[in-house]
Structure 1
Amino acid sequence: MKKLMMICMSLLMVIGLVACDDDTEGMKKVGIIQYAQHPALDQAHDGFIDALKDEGFEEGKNITFDDQNAQGEGSNAETIADKLVNDGNDLIYAIATPSAIAAAQKTTEIPIVISAVTNPEDSKLVKSNEKPGGNVTGVSDLTPVEDQIDLLVKLAPEVKSVAVMYTNAERNSELQYEIAKKALEAKGIKVEAATVSESNQVQQVAESLVGKVDAIYVPTDNMVSESIANVVSVTNEHNMPTIVGEIAMVEKGALATYGINYYDIGYLAGKQAAKILRGEAEPKDMPIEYSSEDKLEMGFNESTAKKLGITIPEELLKEAKIVK
């Protein structure tokens, strides 16, 4: 009987060890590279995590995250990408173009899901947005630039000249500048490119525009959006309406936006990641996705509108988010 009990205990221990090994083998490892710390990218991060949770991936149970932030430095993004590849992650989630490029340059084997990248094809991350063809897929943050220009004109119809502020080294921002320029010129409005290459230039460039233009448009540009408080400290003081690419900049003092919801694009990216992790799809066959029109959000900063003496039309207020 004693021998039988020992045999049974040994068998139970073996079964337990096998079960543990199976749990370890079933654990998915996901590395995250977020390019910078600001509200829009934070939302894209949170949406991704929540989508995976909704898809049955529970941290510590069947998935682990190596969550890294490059703090706005390209060299940091490259170092993080190296680490995530060397650690053998099952998937990498890259938030914003510099992070996506850093990850894509380090591996052609590990699946990469991206978000907050305006045009992945133009950034050479995929062969085409419709059929990526490699190990990269994801969700674009292409914002409705023409609609944002229309909003600017509705709020400030007297505007004759507009500066577009963006980072000159950021191809996605250049693309939005080109769209904005075409839309503004079609309305007979003069356009000036106001570019920056470092964050400490943002306020100086904003100050240089005082007296030269009537309003400023800021697309979904990482560097300028991080420093938007410096921009609006100048523009609001000098009665220059500032229309922006997304709601987080309105919360920091910009006048208005009609743009995408970054939590939503992060959530869509998380849904893509879940399919890849379950082996249901491969990035090469997964088209780049876009936020649906019903997820677009209009927002106004009430105190900024009051300071600028702008009355927001009632029809625009109905569905808008108002920041006090």
Structure 2
Amino acid sequence: MNYSLFLKLVLAFSVLLSVAVFPATTAKSASLIIASVLSSDQPRYRNAHKAFVRAMAAKGYDQTTIELVTQIPNPDPISWSNAIRKFNAIGANIIVAFGAPAALAALQESHDIPIVFVDVYAPLETGIAKSLSAPGNNATGVSSKVPLSTLIKTAQEFKQFRQVGVLFTSREVGSVVQLKELKRLAAQNRFSVVESNVDSPAMLEQALSSLLPQVDLLYVTESSMVGRQIDKVIRRSMDHRVPIITQVPDGGERGALVSLEAHPGEMGHQAADLAAKVIAGRKPAIIPIVAPKKVDLIINMKTARALDLHVPIQVLNVATKIIK
């Protein structure tokens, strides 16, 4: 065979081989990377994330057009920061942060990548946003804030609670904001607040043993540490005949007497709308923050009966969901 012809055949074969072996790498390098981080492994964040992915696919942004990267780190500041650093390293185009801790880590660790936050209780109070209409900070998102005053007022319809215990986590800013709001409402509603900080799973047992004997109502904040063990909290509270109120999604289903919940699925869809605007070129800093539209006031009749609490007719009239 002619030597020059042989070289041409080898070269042609090499080109064909490279195309056959590496097409996925070429496609990925040109794809849009959407990186999601969940503040903790809780149903509220998982459900919101699933809804976000489905809504993005419905808009034409599925795995054939974008690369989806998801991190669920341990619920601590170092792990949240490390997750965002990974997103920086892979060149993510958008960061979607579920929960205030992850959103704050994204703001601190990534200054150039647009951020869409989801299920953040108090974007202004936490410093994540400067205003609801023009959030700034290269971030926009979905607030999960629902009025704690409504939750307290509904609970007080059952009876006048005097000692309200609070489980919160000092390193989770949303949880701290809820504690501060409860303290402001305490004077208006004539009850005292007994607080217990749960900074690790091991501290929960100590907190429950200390709080439950001295309170007649327990408020569970959106703490990741507490949320991951909510079934235990409800079980122990029922043993002490102490009702629970909360704004944590699924709290009512799991046994809280009263819960006021923003819907995770709706928040996921709202986040997809915002992400699509960012992809289209809108600056997140000037995209208004979205408030929850679907909010459920849930009354758990099973819990009320177990605690011998009469459910007033006015409570049933305003409830959007009753668990029988």
TM-score relative to the length of structure 1: 0.85
How far did 1:235 drift?
1.3
1:166 and 1:173 in contact (8 A); partners too: yes
Structure 2 distance, partners of 1:20, 1:247, is 39
Pairing 1:33-112 to 2, within 5 Å after superposition: 33-59=37-63, 61-112=64-115
Q: Which segment drifts farther, 281-290 or 305-314?
A: 305-314
Structure 1 distance, partners of 2:198, 2:24, is 53
Structure 2 distance, partners of 1:312, 1:26, is 59
How far did 1:93 drift?
0.5
One-letter identity of the residue aligned with 2:54: D
Does 1:153 pair with 2:132? no
Change in CA separation of 1:158 and 1:21 when aligned onto 2, cut-off 3 Å:
closer
Structure 2 distance, partners of 1:84, 1:21, is 18
**5+ long unaligned stretches in structure 1:** 1-12
One-letter identity of the residue aligned with 1:81: I
Structure 2 distance, partners of 1:21, 1:219, is 44
Give me the identity figure in percent.
26
Structure 1 distance, partners of 2:29, 2:279, is 13
Pairing 1:57-206 to 2, within 5 Å after superposition: 57-59=61-63, 61-155=64-158, 157-206=159-208
Q: Which residue of 1 aligns with 2:214?
A: 212
1:149 and 1:184 in contact (8 A); partners too: no
One-letter identity of the residue aligned with 1:302: M
One-letter identity of the residue aligned with 2:40: A
One-letter identity of the residue aligned with 1:221: S
How far did 1:315 drift?
4.8
Q: Which residue of 2 aligns with 1:250?
A: 252
Q: Which residue of 2 aligns with 1:302?
A: 301
How far did 1:128 drift?
3.2
Counterpart secondary structure, 2:298:
strand
TM-score relative to the length of structure 2: 0.85
How far did 1:132 drift?
2.2
Q: Which residue of 2 aligns with 1:278?
A: 280
Counterpart secondary structure, 1:30:
strand
Change in CA separation of 1:70 and 1:46 when aligned onto 2, cut-off 3 Å:
same
Structure 1 distance, partners of 2:299, 2:141, is 29
How far did 1:254 drift?
2.0
Counterpart secondary structure, 1:137:
strand
Structure 2 distance, partners of 1:322, 1:175, is 28
Counterpart secondary structure, 2:212:
coil
Structure 2 distance, partners of 1:77, 1:171, is 14
How far did 1:23 drift?
6.7
One-letter identity of the residue aligned with 2:49: H
Number of aligned positions between the proteins: 304
